[in-house]
Amino acid sequence: MAIIERPSLAPAVIGDEVASPPALVTPTAAMGVFKRPVSTTGWKSWVFTVDHKKLGIMYGAVALFFFLVGGAEALLIRLQLAAPDNTVLSADLYNQMFTMHATTMVFLFVMPMAAAFANYFIPLQIGARDVAFPRINAVGFWLFLFGGLFLNSAWFLGGAADGGWFMYSPNSSPLFSPSHGIDFWLLGLQITGIASLVGAMNLIVTILNMRAPGMSLMRMPVFTWMQLVTQFLLLFAMPVITVALFLLGFQRNFGAAFFDVDKGADPLLWQHLFWIFGHPEVYIIILPSFGIISEVLPTFARKPLFGYKFVVFSGAAIGFIGWGVWAHHMFASGLGPVSVAVFSAATMLVAIPTGVKICNWTLTLWGGKLWFTTAMNFAIGVIVLFTIGGLSGVTHASAPADTQQTDTYHIVAHFHYVIVGGAVMGLFAGFYYWWPKMFGKMLSERMGKWNFWLMFFGVNLTFAPMHILGMQGQPRRMVVWPSKLTGEGFFNLGFWNKVATLGSFTIALGVLLFVINIIITTKKGAKAPLDPWDARTLEWLTASPPKEHNFDSIPTVHALDEFFHRKYEEVDTADGARLVKVKTGEEVLAIEEAAGDAHIHLPSPSYWPIVLALSFPVIAYGIIFNRMLSVVGAGILVIALFGWVLEPSVADDSDYDPPAEGSGPTKELASIG
Amino acid sequence: MEQSENMQSRSCGRRVAGRRYVALAVGVGVLLAGCAKNAPQDTFQPAGSNARKIDGLQRELFYISGVVGVIVFAFVGYAVWKFKDRGQEIPEQTHGNPKLEILLTILPAVILAVVAVPSIAAVFELDKKDNDCVINVTGQQWWWEYDYVQGSTCGGVEITKSIVTSSELVIPADVDVLLRITSRDVIHSYWIPRLNGKRDAVPGRLHTLRMQADQPGIYTGQCTEFCGLSHARMRQAAVALNKADFQTWVTNQTADYVAPEAGTLAATGEGTFQAQCSKCHQVNDLKTADGTPVLAAPDLYVVSGVAPNLTKLMTRTAFAGWTFDLISAECRDKLWNAPPDEFGALYLQGVTPECFDEANLRTWLRNAPAMKPMYADPAKLAATGGKTRGMPNLNLTENQIDELIAYLLERK
């Protein structure tokens, strides 16, 4: 039996390796009068946790909250557009609404929800007990939460950002947007940006260094692979937007002139900076969901992913080519024909690896034994809806065609098919697939099916008409559309606007069912077995929910889909070899547990991540309202940094109440931490 | 357990397949059924050579995408139906087929190459700048200004004197004109869907866009780069006239100022205009009683530094960023639906007393920001040093409004 130990003088043991004695000596006890927060239950165990699973759940819960906020914003937008010259929202409020809808959905829902799955499942999938830097993981979550709350607090402090999510200059300068909304926006995104950046570094180090013995890169689950590509994209993309936001922040708050035309600046500088970040961002949004459905489809088709290597390399190829296509957002910006031609061709190139993925997923279904769970439905839904989004994308990869389509509802249709039909539906596949593992309870499949079909029809009802609206001349971001431009016939543009509004409420109903499903499941859901789906990868080789240390013994990996191959073996029968389930998941786990490690050390919880994260919104409020507040925030930041640096990674025995008997303070560095 | 699982998945499978067909049918239906007829900004109804070139490209792309889509959906649908769990064996654990993979990589590459070549050729063709007729187009919050460059020859008509107008771009039919587009404040985008794609108006930069209309008619458009509070109310139109009509239009635009007849309401209105409107709005050749030219100085009062030139206001059919009609809905429909050979004569009538929609202009003069939001809140003018972004509420009396309307009605 494995036990989690308090620190002792014995060397830490992880797997079969004995950690060498630490070369560095950290202070033996936490500084100051406070004891380390070591409790494993109660609210403190969440607020001060460094456990990747708890952080993953918190990421998910907060992202879901912001999903509902962004969804409510979307519904208000669709209500306003349901009728000509409508007056549900004023022009000012409408502009804030679509800016914040996009910002919330991209930065506060899809990205952190993907981070939630990354946090929870990457260590499990690669057979690790935590991420490489648990406290950095914690600070990432708190920065995301505080950044998101800070960003949204603008609603109550004079109005939210009103420049559209790509915040084109010079419309974003104080002359044209005099409220503080854009300051909240750019400072909030800086804060959540730090979260993304430290998260990316953490996960890259984790994936590259902490895989279980035998798990070569080409035996790594596709979800982890796609997350690895995503994290590299974040690592290189976030600095670009950080620079752009700094320039804008200095322009708005300190009189700098980076985008001031009168002083000789070129406003296209902002567009280039934004889209050099913004296009890889598209892949940051979509690749995690590609990863999720690449796990879900093989599991429920009962066969390996078709062309694993091609899927992995096409994911990496998308990651690379994604850097060379940003100017396709600027085909109408006046770049000149040579640039436009080059970026047009490069954009078409991206369609190739994306097409490869679609083919591979479909061929994974081919010849399988398909089990249509809710997760599987969502995954197949992604194939269908993402294909529509991808094909409409090809129609505006052609630059001349794009000059008709850009900034119209056709584009809105395209990216919502990609983001809602692709990324969000993929995340929902993840919810239904992994929920039993995360919470030990089965989400209701019955409600899940309703949830899926409502969302699937809802997405088509909402966004398919937008293709027509855009092609027939309705631009995006307009608070009103006049009836004189809607054309004639039953299928006039007014009709399609109403259908889109109806569709948006259908999606909302689907999401509402999901929330109800969560509540009912939490109260009285069926208890989940450890392997309800007969799954294939290592995260299922744990209890449901997993123990705090994930694995009693770190599994040794022999193949892609290791867990499947431990359950199934080829048995010779009269009519040839057939695959037979020789062990259940429980039996496989029992074998592992019997050989559990004797000593497992996990990093201890810490106060400092949340304190450090808290300093940033204080500094940011200071920049907007009173610089003295920034000084206070900087003070908190310095204290938190010192506290963090001087804190040992593992709590001293004196932190426990009562202190452990007999054992003195330790000079151990935990092997993980 | 295994048994019940299979049963459950079997019944689910049937439901999934059934609903999938419904979903597909609905999807295809949506794509095929439903375009509006005669939508004024329909990119699928090009009315000029540039838009037609794009339309050809666009249709090719839509057809190819449609066919690829149908193949993929048929393939997915068939796989979902064919391989649902009917209690068959666990399939062989194959990891793929490299030859098929390579084929499936090359195939889209070939399709895309076929699409890419005409696309890129069109990029260069649409960028040509060999036109004789050049019109400067300048965007600002929230309207477009046109300046017909002196010395240009537009369809054989020489522009002898610069013409400054707004919202309605009048061009000779069947002539490729070149727009030189820029902005005075934020980024806007000029788009007349039936004549060409859009081009951004970026401050500090000059972009060009070709425009050609086959036949006389009116082609509506909309600013398509988000440009702040009243972005939705920044519209425009292109009006194509045959050569003779265009000559008439040019002659009228460059004609001398005709003062209202003394003693009329309009004559009082001229004085009111000078007192209330001339600070920003230019009427060419307008003079005070003592003969001093009246020069507007909008740069002192408006952020963008300009206001629409009203010399020939009533030759246009809408105002305030082409948002509000100057003519009644009935007259508008008649004009918009006029056959090409009758269109010119109808358009050149301008705003006639029978067609004049007085309510719109009157409401505007009473309180412009109430009709079109323009950051009129004084608290929001701090950043601009008190300058407004559009027309402020001038607190005019009803009498003043009567006078102004009478005066403006003669500006044609």
Beta-strand relationship, B177-183 and B188-190: unpaired
Vertex A461 angle, CA A458 and A465, to 5° = 150
Chain A's closest residue to B220, CA to CA, is A485
Residue type, A102: A
Would the CB atoms of B224 and A496 count as touching at under 8 Å? no
- Residue B356 is predicted with a pLDDT of 95
pLDDT, tens digit (0-9, with 9 covering 90-100), for B82-130:
999 998 888 888 888 889 989 988 988 998 888 899 999 999 999 998 8
Chain A's closest residue to B199, CA to CA, is A332
Residues of chain B in contact with residue A478, where contact means CB-CB under 8 angstroms, are 222, 231-232
pLDDT, tens digit (0-9, with 9 covering 90-100), for A540-595:
999 999 999 999 999 999 999 999 999 999 888 777 778 889 999 999 999 999 98
Question: Residue A9 above 70 pLDDT?
Answer: no
Mean of all residue pLDDT scores within chain A: 90
Residue from the list A170, A377, A578 with its beta carbon closest to the beta carbon of B89? A578
Dist CA A546 CA A440 (whole Å): 9
Question: Residue A259 above 60 pLDDT?
Answer: yes
pLDDT, tens digit (0-9, with 9 covering 90-100), for A64-103:
999 999 999 999 999 999 999 999 999 999 999 999 999 9
Q: Which residues of chain B have pLDDT under 70?
A: 1-33, 376, 378
The pLDDT > 70 percentage for chain A reads: 92
- Residue B289 is predicted with a pLDDT of 87
pLDDT, tens digit (0-9, with 9 covering 90-100), for A365-384:
999 999 999 999 999 999 99
- Residue A673 is predicted with a pLDDT of 35
Interface check A337 vs B, CB under 8 A: yes
Q: At B280, list the tokens.
A: 């920003």
Dist CA B179 CA B136 (whole Å): 6
Neighbours of A526 (CB within 10 A): 13
Q: Which residue reads 């992994």 in tokens?
A: A434
Residue type, B50: N
Radius of gyration of chain B (CA): 29
Q: Read off the pLDDT of each residue in A420-425 and give the average, rounded to a whole number.
A: 96
Would the CB atoms of A468 and B228 count as touching at under 8 Å? no
pLDDT, tens digit (0-9, with 9 covering 90-100), for A276-321:
999 999 999 999 999 999 999 999 999 999 999 999 999 999 889 9
pLDDT, tens digit (0-9, with 9 covering 90-100), for A652-665:
666 666 554 444 33
CA-closest candidate to residue B54, choices B209, B206, B177 = B209
Count, residues in chain A: 673
Dist CA A9 CA A599 (whole Å): 12
CB B213, CB B173: distance < 8 Å: yes
Mean pLDDT is lowest, of A111-125, A399-413, A641-655, B218-232, for A641-655
In the 8-state DSSP scheme, what is residue B388? B
- Residue A435 is predicted with a pLDDT of 96
Q: How far is CA A55 from CA A47, A337, A521, A624, in A?
A: 9, 48, 21, 30
| Distance to chain A for B344, nearest Cα, Å | 21
Helix or strand holding residue A240 (H, E): helix A222-254
Would the CB atoms of B9 and A332 count as touching at under 8 Å? no
pLDDT, tens digit (0-9, with 9 covering 90-100), for A589-617:
999 999 888 778 888 889 999 999 999 99
pTM for the model stands at 0.92
pLDDT, tens digit (0-9, with 9 covering 90-100), for A425-482:
999 999 999 999 999 999 999 999 999 999 999 999 999 999 999 999 999 999 999 9
Contacts of A118 (CB under 8 A, 6+ apart): A56, A199, A203, A227, A230, A231, A288
A196 band by pLDDT with thresholds 50, 70 and 90: very high
In the 8-state DSSP scheme, what is residue B89? P
Contacts of A633 (CB under 8 A, 6+ apart): A615, A616, A617, A618, A619, A620, A621, A622
Interface check A483 vs B, CB under 8 A: no
Dist CA A623 CA A253 (whole Å): 8
Question: Residue A38 above 90 pLDDT?
Answer: no
Main-chain phi, psi angles of B169, to 5 degrees: -90, 115
Would the CB atoms of B225 and A168 count as touching at under 8 Å? yes
Q: At B155, list the tokens.
A: 């369809």
CB A552, CB A593: distance < 8 Å: yes
| Distance to chain A for B1, nearest Cα, Å | 11
- Residue A657 is predicted with a pLDDT of 60
CB A236, CB A164: distance < 8 Å: no
DSSP structure string for B294-321: ----GGGTBTTS-----TTGGGSSEETT
Residues of chain A in contact with residue B65, where contact means CB-CB under 8 angstroms, are 391-392, 394-395
